[in-house]
Amino acid sequence: MIREMTRVANQHGAINLAQGFPDSDPPAALVQAGKDAMDAGRHQYAITWGSPELREALAGKITRFTGLPVDPQRELVVTCGSTEAMMVAMMTVCDPGDRVGMFSPFYENYAADAILAGATPVHVPLHPPQYRFDPAELRRAFATGGGLKAFVLCNPSNPCGRVFTREELMQIAALAEEFDVFVLTDEVYEHIVFPPHEHITFATLPGMAARTLSCSSLSKTFAITGWRLGYVHAPAAIIAQARKVHDFLTVGAAAPLQHAVVTALNFPASYYQELANEYAAQRDILLSYLDRAGLTYSKPEGAYFVMVDISTFGYASDVEFSHWMTREIGVAPVPGSSFFAHPENRYIRLNFAKRPATLHAAGERLLKLAKR
Ligand SMILES: Cc1ncc(COP(=O)(O)O)c(C=O)c1O
């Protein structure tokens, strides 16, 4: 659906706020490091589970931000983005017939990953507009139907922008412990969080490091979605299995780019602060136009998406609304129903991973929605 909206946006010359990727350039030092890696002849396979220097740099960065000790020799596997990391995590812990819990709305890959691993997705609603879960519904998912093998946690969350509180994460952790469930986290937006919200790495919760496969990516943090670099961090015994899955899936991530990104992993703390500040400013630009247009939305706490309520426009189908909006307003959204497991047609998703000028141009167009 996201790619379909991109096609429709192109057809009508609309501003594409559907597909979410940064439209700013990566840091110049990182691009230069990429060129240097090519010139240095880094063209052949790296070690399948990641070049030693990249694993060292990742381990150092994870420890700096989370306080978790990480053994780069045994506890990391470098993957082709978090996309592969999540698939590797799923195939590492799940067998055909297992049940895998996940919230809804959700990033579409999770259900597909579960199905590809032969498992069955079990959805737990995050109730709009706050996108909070009902602890009783969550417990039911863990407890019924023979229980879960794994639970997928996307935090900060695409599409709803939630950054789960410590209390919420502790509820998930308690259930994982009680029902002996693995937790597969997707934390690609860990550095795009808006104060006062704070990202808590799930594996840092008491007892959780032993059962968590933490997946993340360099795609969003360094604006290099096309470089395809991510990783799984988990206990050594789990990573030993994950490395086998990864080896058979992709062999490895691009060797010169693995080498280059070490430069970025050594950026100072100020880099991450500026990244969060920039996204906060972009969020505020888009939200200011939504406010002026009188649209209702759920304020994003992290990531770079906003769910907007379109129920007052009287469309029976959010897909139809999204096509109309792309054509007539000139801004392409994603129909919210793409992210929900149950029928839902009240929302669209817009992304603000765009330069301020693009967001202002889109915002001016969105003001036309106010008159309707
Ligand atoms: C929640 C989430 N996970 C993973 C990805 C893909 O990440 P990667 O580029 O690391 O594969 C995205 C991209 O939009 C995402 O939103």
Tell me what percent of the residues of the chain surpass a pLDDT of 70: 99
Render 252-275 in DSSP notation, one character per residue. -S-HHHHHHHHHHHT--HHHHHHH
Residues 163 and 261 in one domain: yes
Residue 23: the pLDDT is 85
Residues 64 and 128 in one domain: yes
- Using one digit for the tens of pLDDT, what is the confidence trace for 211-267? 999 999 999 999 999 999 999 999 999 999 999 999 999 999 999 999 999 999 999
Residue 139: the pLDDT is 98
Residue 150: the pLDDT is 98
Confidence of residue 371 (pLDDT cuts 50, 70, 90): low
Residue 218 makes CB contacts below 8 A (sequence gap 6+) with 224, 227, 229, 230, 261, 264, 265
Mean pLDDT for the chain overall: 97
Range of the structural domain that residue 304 is part of: 2-20+270-371
CATH number of the structural domain spanning residue 126? 3.40.640.10
**Ligand 1 contacts CB of residue 83 (under 6 A):** yes
Last residue of a domain, one of 214, 239, 265: 265
Position 1 pLDDT exceeds 90: no
Q: Which two tokens stand for residue 192?
A: 């795009």
* Residue 301 falls inside a structural domain: yes
Position 47 pLDDT exceeds 70: yes
Residues 207 and 279 in one domain: no
For atom 13 of ligand 1, the residue with the nearest CA is 20
For atom 16 of ligand 1, the residue with the nearest CA is 158
Residues 196 and 93 in one domain: yes
3-class secondary structure, 349: strand
Number of domains in the chain: 2
**Ligand 1 contacts CB of residue 230 (under 6 A):** yes
Ranges of beta strands (E only) in 206-309 are: 212-217, 230-233, 296-298, 305-309
Distance CA 302, CA 191 (A): 8
* Residue 29 falls inside a structural domain: no
Residue 372: the pLDDT is 61
- Using one digit for the tens of pLDDT, what is the confidence trace for 281-332? 999 999 999 999 999 999 999 999 999 999 999 999 999 999 999 999 999 9
Residue 22: the pLDDT is 86
Residue 20: the pLDDT is 82
- Using one digit for the tens of pLDDT, what is the confidence trace for 334-347? 999 999 999 999 99
* Residue 31 falls inside a structural domain: no
Residue of 107, 184, 257 to mutate, ligand 1, most atoms within 8 A of C-beta: 107
Position 3 pLDDT exceeds 90: no
Q: Which two tokens stand for residue 60?
A: 């150092």
How much distance in Å is there from the Cα of 291 to the middle of ligand 1? 28
**Ligand 1 contacts CB of residue 225 (under 6 A):** yes
**Ligand 1 contacts CB of residue 188 (under 6 A):** yes
Residues 239 and 275 in one domain: no
